[in-house]
Amino acid sequence: DRLAIYGPLDLDARGGAISFAFDGIHAHDVSQVLDEDGVCVRAGHHCAKPLMRLLGVNATARASFYLYNDQHDVDALADALDGASDIFGL
């Protein structure tokens, strides 16, 4: 419930990048915890500081998917996010 996903709701308009943030936890902290599970994401304002201000967040984490990713990668991200929520007590 405390994970926000940013971007178009229309899946046809969404690309392979998913930006997200846990309420009350900095994206860099989430990124570090995911890294410990072998899941790589980018964290920060992604050269979009005005957008971050508009969204009311300091930063987001961003996972990117492309042709080389498979279901295992998606599952690894979901499992790592679930573990991160446990670590942060969410």
**Active-site residue among 47, 54, 67, 72?**
47
CB 22 within 8 A of CB 32: no
Active site residue 47: yes
Q: Over the range 4-23, which residues count as b (16 or more CB within 10 Å of their CB) and which as e?
A: eeeeeeeeeeeeeebbbbbe
User: Distance between CA atoms of 82 and 89, rounded to whole angstroms?
Assistant: 11
Catalytic positions:
47
